[in-house]
């Protein structure tokens, strides 16, 4: 069994080209991990997800603990077996989603008591239970249980929240079942306050994790403040461990974060957009519901290898969306995941060749051109 680990092959400024090793195989970084909330990347088969080059997918502890249930997934052989995903799986801790339940939850030092949004049943999520669930799910990468500090938050609120997360991080570390090839990541909190981020990073490094996530960003603070926070946070994290920016983001967010030394990303954007007729292209997003596509025989993207671009016209994709045909979300999700993987592949090649800043500049320039002209 492979030990969990991280290699760095090349750096270009702060950007790193690397590889995470897990029990279920490697993940080349910088990596984008598609989100498979309820044990499926929505509207995709696992084979299609893998065909885009995606190596790792995400599962959500909150959703899976409620349905089908962590113990059930465990009895059925774990999440890889259950959903037929043979590569690495990262699960979140459940903290983020539980926090967003608002009136249905109650927090304490112990953890979070909440009611299921599905059937109203009562549950308690603690660092220990979160570790147990992620172990039952057989996650290659387990996330420490934390509170995602809301934005905006006063320095006092952010500090209190962050320190609770650090106490929970210590309990997560203690409860984590260490197995060869399986890793546990801590999550840096502290809002947009550099001193709190530093305090959090120091606390986590003191506990010691297999990787370090940066949480509490992409929650409304905007790209500039997010980048400023990364600028002061990533240098505080160990160079020999992967860095994961949670829930991010748009392609330009990802590219900017890679320039600042982040290695891993996840976001529902490509999948959710695919289900709402939004397609990512090098020249920005395209809304295929728009009537201007109805007679357009051109592919969505000329240089994309996904089936939506290889086999169909914009006119056909538009028709599928207007007709509310399932194949519309299927093809657009596939395309968007392919697009994200192509961006990551481009970033990895650029880092290897020492031209990541040029790559980033070109991507921004392409996007600024806007979508191709109507016919």
Length of the chain, please? 375
CA distances from 186 to 100, 199, 206, 229, 282 (A): 20, 13, 11, 17, 33
CA 93 from centroid of its chain's CA atoms? 13
Given the residues 92, 253, 296, 342, the one annotated as active site: 92
* Binding flag, residue 305, its own copies (CB under 8 A): no
How many residues form the binding site for its own copies (CB under 8 A)? 37
294 interacts with its own copies by CB under 8 A:
yes
Q: Between 40 and 115, name the residue whose CB sits nearer to its own copies.
A: 40
Residue 289 Cβ, how far from its own copies at the closest point, in Å?
13
- The answer to the question of residue 39 lying near its own copies (CB under 8 A) is yes
* Three-state secondary structure readout of 134-162: HHHHCCCEEECCCCCCCCCCCHHHHHHHH
DSSP character at residue 178 = -
- Chain-centroid distance, C-alpha 346: 18
Among 2, 9, 77, 240, binds its own copies (CB under 8 A): 77
Segment contacting its own copies by CB under 8 A, of 6-14, 218-226, 291-299, 365-373? 291-299
Task: By CB under 8 A, tell whether 206 contacts its own copies.
Answer: no
d(Cα 158, Cα 170) in Å, to the nearest integer?
18
* Least distance between its own copies and beta carbon 79 (Å): 10
- Asked if 288 interacts with its own copies (CB under 8 A), we say no
Helices of type H across 190-306: 194-207, 223-233, 251-259, 269-274
Query: Between residues 45 and 154, which has the closer beta carbon with respect to its own copies?
Result: 45
Say if residue 96 carries a ligand binding annotation.
yes
Report the residue number, 8 or 50, with the smaller CB distance to its own copies.
Answer: 50
195 flagged as catalytic: no
C-alpha distances in Å from residue 59, one per residue of 38, 56, 115, 195, 220:
7, 10, 20, 32, 23
- Please identify which residue in 110, 295, 302, 366 interacts with its own copies, judged by CB under 8 A: 295
76 binds its own copies (CB under 8 A): yes
Both structure tokens of 204: 């986590």
Using the minimum distance from each CB to its own copies, give the nearer residue, 287 or 313.
Answer: 313
Is 297 one of the binding residues for its own copies (CB under 8 A)? Answer: yes
Among 11, 40, 51, 116, binds its own copies (CB under 8 A): 40
Residue 205 assigned ligand-binding role: no
Is 92 an active-site residue? yes
**Footprint of its own copies on residues 306-365 (CB under 8 A)?**
307, 311-313, 315-316, 319-320, 322-323, 325-327, 329-331
95 is in an annotated binding site: yes
Residue 209 is assigned to a ligand binding site: no
Tell the smallest beta-carbon distance from residue 78 to its own copies (Å). 12
Q: In what order do the strands lie in the sheet with 15-22?
A: 5-12, 15-22, 25-29
At which residue do the structure tokens 């979070």 appear?
Answer: 112
Collapsing DSSP states into helix, strand and coil, what is residue 87? coil
**Is 291 near its own copies (CB under 8 A)?**
no
- Asked if 33 interacts with its own copies (CB under 8 A), we say no
Q: Which stretch binds its own copies (CB under 8 A): 16-24, 36-44, 152-160, 365-373?
A: 36-44
Binding test (CB under 8 A) with its own copies, winner from 82, 168, 185, 280: 82
> Mapping DSSP to helix (H, G, I), strand (E, B) and coil, where does residue 351 land?
helix
Whose tokens are 């991080």? That residue is 169
The span from the CA of 231 to the CA of 245, in Å, is: 13
User: Is residue 189 within 8 Å of residue 215, measured between CB atoms?
Assistant: yes
Which residues have a Cβ under 8 Å from the Cβ of 22 and sit 6 or more positions away?
2, 4, 56, 88, 140, 141, 181, 182, 183
H/E element, 113: strand 112-115
Annotated catalytic residue: which of 263, 266, 296, 342?
Answer: 266
Active site residues: 92, 266
- Specify binding-site residues for Zn(2+): 304, 306, 309, 335
Residues that bind its own copies (CB under 8 A): 38-40, 42-47, 67-68, 72, 75-77, 82-84, 294-295, 297, 307, 311-313, 315-316, 319-320, 322-323, 325-327, 329-331
């Amino acid at each position: 069994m492979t030990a969990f680990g991280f290699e760095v092959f090349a750096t270009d400024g702060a950007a790193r080209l690397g590889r995470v090793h897990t029990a279920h195989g490697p993940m080349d970084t910088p990596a984008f991990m598609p989100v498979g909330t309820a044990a499926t990347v929505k509207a995709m088969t696992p084979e299609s997800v893998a065909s885009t080059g995606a190596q790792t997918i995400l599962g959500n502890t909150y959703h899976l603990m409620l349905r089908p249930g962590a113990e059930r997934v465990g009895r059925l052989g774990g999440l890889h077996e259950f959903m037929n995903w043979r590569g690495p799986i990262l699960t979140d801790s459940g903290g983020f989603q539980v926090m967003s339940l608002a009136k249905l939850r109650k927090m304490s030092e112990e953890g979070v008591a909440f009611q299921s949004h599905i059937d109203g049943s009562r549950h308690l999520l603690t660092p220990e239970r979160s570790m147990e669930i992620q172990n039952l799910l057989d996650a290659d990468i387990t996330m420490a249980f934390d509170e995602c500090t809301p934005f905006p938050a006063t320095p006092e609120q952010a500090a209190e929240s962050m320190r609770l997360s650090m106490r929970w991080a210590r309990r997560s570390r203690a409860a984590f079942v260490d197995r060869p090839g399986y890793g546990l990541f801590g999550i840096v909190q502290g809002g947009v306050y550099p001193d709190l981020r530093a305090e959090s990073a120091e606390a986590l490094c003191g506990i010691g994790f297999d990787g370090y996530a940066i949480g509490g960003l992409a929650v409304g603070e905007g790209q500039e403040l997010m980048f400023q926070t990364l600028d002061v946070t990533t240098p505080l994290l160990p160079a020999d461990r992967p860095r994961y920016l949670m829930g991010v983001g748009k392609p330009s967010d990802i590219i900017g974060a890679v320039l600042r030394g982040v290695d891993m990303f996840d976001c529902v954007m490509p999948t959710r957009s695919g289900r709402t007729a939004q397609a990512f292209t090098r020249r920005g997003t395209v809304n295929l519901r728009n009537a201007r596509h109805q007679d357009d025989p051109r592919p969505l993207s000329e240089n994309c290898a996904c089936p939506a671009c290889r086999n169909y016209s914009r006119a056909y994709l538009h028709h599928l969306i207007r007709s509310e045909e399932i194949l519309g979300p299927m093809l657009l999700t596939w395309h968007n995941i392919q697009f994200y993987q192509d961006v990551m592949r481009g970033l990895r090649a650029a880092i290897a060749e020492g031209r990541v800043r040029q790559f980033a500049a070109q991507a921004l320039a392409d996007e600024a051109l806007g979508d191709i002209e109507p016919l």
